[in-house]
Amino acid sequence: MEKTAQRPIVGVFWMVVTGLCFVAVTALVKINGPRIPAAEAAFLRYSLGLIFLIPIFGALRRTRLEPRVWRLFAVRGGFHTFGVTLWFFSMTQISIAEVTAMNYLTPVYVTIAAALFLGEKLAMRRLIAVLCALVGAVIILRPGFRELSVGHFAMLAAALVFCVSYLTAKLLADAVPASIVVAMLSITVTIGLAPLAYAVWIPPTWHEVAMLFAVACFATAGHYTMTLAFASAPLTVTQPVTFLQLVWAVSLGYFAFGEDVDIWVVVGGFVILGSVSFITWREAMLKRGVITPTANETKV
């Protein structure tokens, strides 16, 4: 840890690259459009991404897992399958800025769930931060002041489902190596998405396949550079950098897709991410085990 604390600039650099990778993911999914159903698009993204697991197939074959661990993998795979399908669907229904801002709710849900189910203490300052984040969600959605689409509700549900997936991952991290947890997520989600994709299958064009392979590449690269960022600097340094991702998402939506800049979405997103950053900072100050994920950790 001493070494990582001495490389904050490197950590910030890798977190900036991480944000750019995940903005590229959202852009490519948006460009691909709604012709391919969400379940099929998600299936192609995960199945094409399996190529990146080749280096650890040997370790996977040698790993012996207990029945309880298999059940946890199945539970996580099931929830994550549902989550990525909702996320892909949301991307075709609402703006990039809204998807990005509402995705920040997942760490907040995780904080609440960790207190309810994992025995984490929800101190007053963390509780206030959680309440502020929920206020941020209300600012984004503004129920009663505008019509909410099915995409908004899908993204709210996606953030909640990703919360369950992350908490399950925390349990798995105590039982098997992190590389196996990541690999099994890709495998179980691909299996889970297969019947959903088959039910709505539309033959994709080679261009659409190439776009979704690019999504898999950027998503994998984003998770890798995020790991490098965490190895170079503490979360208290890297977490605030995720603010830039919302700025990039708003800019991308405006300049590339002609989406209006909704100031309330921007304000609400910053309120949520500010709350998440405060929770992360408090955990670091208290030297507790990390329960709250960064906003980027919940990406597809």
Which whole number is the average pLDDT over 215-231?
89
Name beta bridge partners: 143. 146
* Angstrom distance (rounded) from CA 18 to CA 145: 35
> Tokens at residue 82, please?
């549902």
Contact 249, 85 (CB under 8 A): no
Which whole number is the average pLDDT over 10-14?
90
Amino acid identity at 55: P
Mean of per-residue pLDDT scores for the chain: 88
Which whole number is the average pLDDT over 208-216?
96
Question: What's the Cα-to-Cα distance from 261 to each of 252, 253, 296, rounded to whole Å?
Answer: 10, 8, 22
Confidence band for 291, pLDDT divided at 50, 70 and 90: low
Q: Which domain holds residue 11?
A: 2-298
Q: Residue 159: helix, strand or coil by DSSP?
A: helix
DSSP code at position 143: B
pTM: 0.89
Q: Is the pLDDT of residue 289 over 80?
A: no
> Tokens at residue 261, please?
């800049």
pLDDT tens-digit profile of 139-175? 999 988 888 999 999 999 999 999 999 889 888 888 8
Confidence band for 83, pLDDT divided at 50, 70 and 90: very high
Instruction: Tell me how many domains the chain contains.
Output: 1
Q: Is the pLDDT of residue 123 over 90?
A: no
Contact 268, 104 (CB under 8 A): no
Residues found in the chain: 300
Confidence band for 111, pLDDT divided at 50, 70 and 90: confident
> Tokens at residue 272, please?
């949520």
> Tokens at residue 143, please?
């129920």
Task: Say how many CA atoms lie within 13 Å of 57 toward its Cβ.
Answer: 6
> Tokens at residue 196, please?
């959903």
Amino acid identity at 263: I
Q: Residue 146: helix, strand or coil by DSSP?
A: strand
